[in-house]
Structure 1
Amino acid sequence: MIKLRSCYVKDFHGKWEMNKELTQSHVLIAVTRGKIIYWVNDESIFLQRGDVLFIPAGSIRGGTSLEEHQRYATHFTPEAHDRSLLPLLMDQRYCKTTISGFEYFKQRFLLLKHHWLMHGPYSEASCFAILLELLGIINYERDKWKLPAKKIDMAEDVKAYVLQHYKEPVTLNDLSGYTGRTPNHISHAFKSVTGLSPIEYLHHVRISKAKELMFDKRMPMSEIAEETGFCDQAYFNRIFKKLTGCSPTAFLKGRTD
């Protein structure tokens, strides 16, 4: 299982600079505000909001800021058998890409940080699952050139619609009306780009939002279910357990023990 070494969000208001040094573990960086320059081995890499950078262990890295910035970062070490899970872990080369659905990626990264800091009974498994998802998204973004541009554009439209309307009932017919494509076409095209069906993506967005509300506002479960677009609490509980492996109550108890 992939082992997290650290996970953090940092705001830099003054000049930031890091001398070049050997990277002991894999590093994943997402820039959420501002602009920075990273050096990986002998290459200079420009990063701004929406960009992510994967740096494999054994690289020489350093960096400097071009302006005030914020970045999310995690350091991790995969076991030998984990490397076969994704091409990114097998290549052993740095990868810079721009995440098209960056708000969702940012939400998941923030949830990864929460699990890392809370050290609950499910933290290790949750961190593994979320980090693997983030790395999978990077692989999809990197490989997008292999897919038709029209499929990619349609998938991005669907993502944008879901992120804007996740509190409301969202059906394939709604997405069909929004994109002008048939429900069947939307399902196949979206899954070929993202690895999820549109409804699966909707569920992930809603559960991610629900976890944020659990962390930040301590709302009753019934209110959280309503706020995140589920028709009733029983349905919310069922989807939550399907995606996380535990009930909302058990999840929240694990965060507060």
Structure 2
Amino acid sequence: MLELVSVYLDDMDPNWHKEEEATLTDILILMTHGRVHYMLNGETLTVEKGDLLLIRKGVMRAGENAQEGAHQKYSVHFHLNERGHELFADAGTHLRLKARSYDYMKQRFAILTQQWFGQRMYADVICTGIAHELLGGFLQETVESRFTSVKLRLMSEVQNYIAAHYREPIRIEELAQLVDRAPNYVTQSFKEVTGLTPISYMHQVRVHAARDLILNTRMTIREVSDFLGYSDQAHFNRVFKKMMGYPPSSLIREVQRRS
């Protein structure tokens, strides 16, 4: 999705400022202290602690410390490939949001910076991986920013419950009782947040568990089907093929080739 170009830590420089010029890469910034005033294509934008800011390549950018003094921020500079441009097609010149997972994002930016400047063996592989993770996290946060914290918390409870009980029969009414909401609310909200209905999510968890069991145990497909709560193996086969694009029997052939 991206080619990593550089990583920076601006660390409490009282004289920090940036003359106006076009950005040569896409930039993802996390503010960790203070405030910065940016001018982006003529638009004034103030960024403060906890903000994530994506600035697109080619944007005319200038910046300076806010009046109260110096700031601290991490930034990662990168080129997007075709897939990346598709994902950020609606971002415009820039995109700012308040990081919901601020502490985690700060930790990952810090590790990225340590690896980048430490230049230990395979640091380039680690840095590229973390940069992808940060950009993926930013994309998730842009989606989740559309929902209230209450809805996200309730749907997280539903998700965790399904992950813990996926081998059991799960009914929408049961999930609705779990979060004290109407069944229609749970179905619609879960799909808004995850892109799947609760039942489709349950099948997805089951299918990934099935793949692991077939590849790494001596269980037959029927035994896996029964273990995961499917009373009908034919139904399990249909669900598996629909989600994975191939039948579970093809995994058996892969196991046989290994042995």
Please give the range of the TM-score, normalised by the shorter of the 2 chains. Answer: 0.5 to 0.7
| AA at the equivalent of 1:38 | Y
Matching residue of 1:69: 71
1:139 shift after superposition: 1.9
**Partner residue in 2 for 1:101:** 101
Structure 1: unaligned runs, 5 residues or longer: 158-170, 174-179, 198-257
CA 1:156/1:44 → structure 2, altered by over 3 Å: closer, same or farther?
farther
Q: 2-side partners of 1:153 and 1:10: how far apart?
A: 34
Residues 139, 122 of structure 1: alpha-carbon distance in 2 compared, 3 angstrom cutoff: same
Letter in 2 for 1:5: V
8 A Cα contact 1:35 1:69, kept in partner = yes
**Residue matched to 1:34:** 34
User: How far has the Cα of 1:107 moved from its partner?
Assistant: 0.6
Residues 1:77 and 1:89: Cα distance change in structure 2 (over 3 Å): farther
Q: Which has the larger radius of gyration?
A: 2
CA distance in 2: counterparts of 1:123 and 1:90, whole angstroms: 32
In the TM superposition, what are the counterparts of 1:1-257 in structure 2 within 5 Å? 2-66=2-66, 67-84=69-86, 87-88=87-88, 91-147=91-147, 149-153=149-153, 192=193
Match of 1:124, as an amino acid? D
- 1:211-245 CA-to-partner distances (Å, cap 9, x unmatched) read xxxxxxxxxxxxxxxxxxxxxxxxxxxxxxxxxxx
Whole-angstrom distance in 2 between the partners of 1:131 and 1:30: 13
The share of aligned pairs that are identical, in percent, is 26
After superposition, the Cα gap between the structure-2 partners of 1:17 and 1:148, relative to the gap in structure 1 and judged at 3 Å, is closer
Give the residue type in structure 1 aligned to 2:48: Q
* CA-CA distance at 1:89 after TM superposition: 5.9
CA distance in 2, matches of 1:14, 1:129: 32
Read off the aligned partner of 1:112 and give its amino acid letter. Answer: L
Say whether the 8 Å CA contact 1:19–1:62 is kept in structure 2. yes
Structure 2, unmatched stretches of 5+, are 158-162, 166-177, 181-185, 195-200, 202-259
| Residue pair 2:21, 2:62 contacting (<8 A) in 1 also | yes
The residue type paired with residue 99 of structure 2 is I
- The residue type paired with residue 78 of structure 1 is L
- 1:30: Cα distance to partner? 1.0
**2:144 touches 2:193 (CA, 8 Å); kept in 1?**
no
Task: Give the residue type in structure 2 aligned to 1:33.
Answer: H
Q: Is the 8 A contact 2:37 2:47 kept in 1?
A: yes
Q: Could you tell me how far 1:13 is from its partner in structure 2?
A: 4.1
Q: Is the 8 A contact 1:36 1:69 kept in 2?
A: yes
TM norm structure 1 = 0.56
CA distance in 1, matches of 2:11, 2:145: 33
Size of the aligned set, in residue pairs, is 172
- Give deviations 1:138-174, integer Å, cap 9, x for gaps: 22222225435422245799xxxxxxxxxxxxx979x
Q: Give SS of 2:88's match.
A: helix
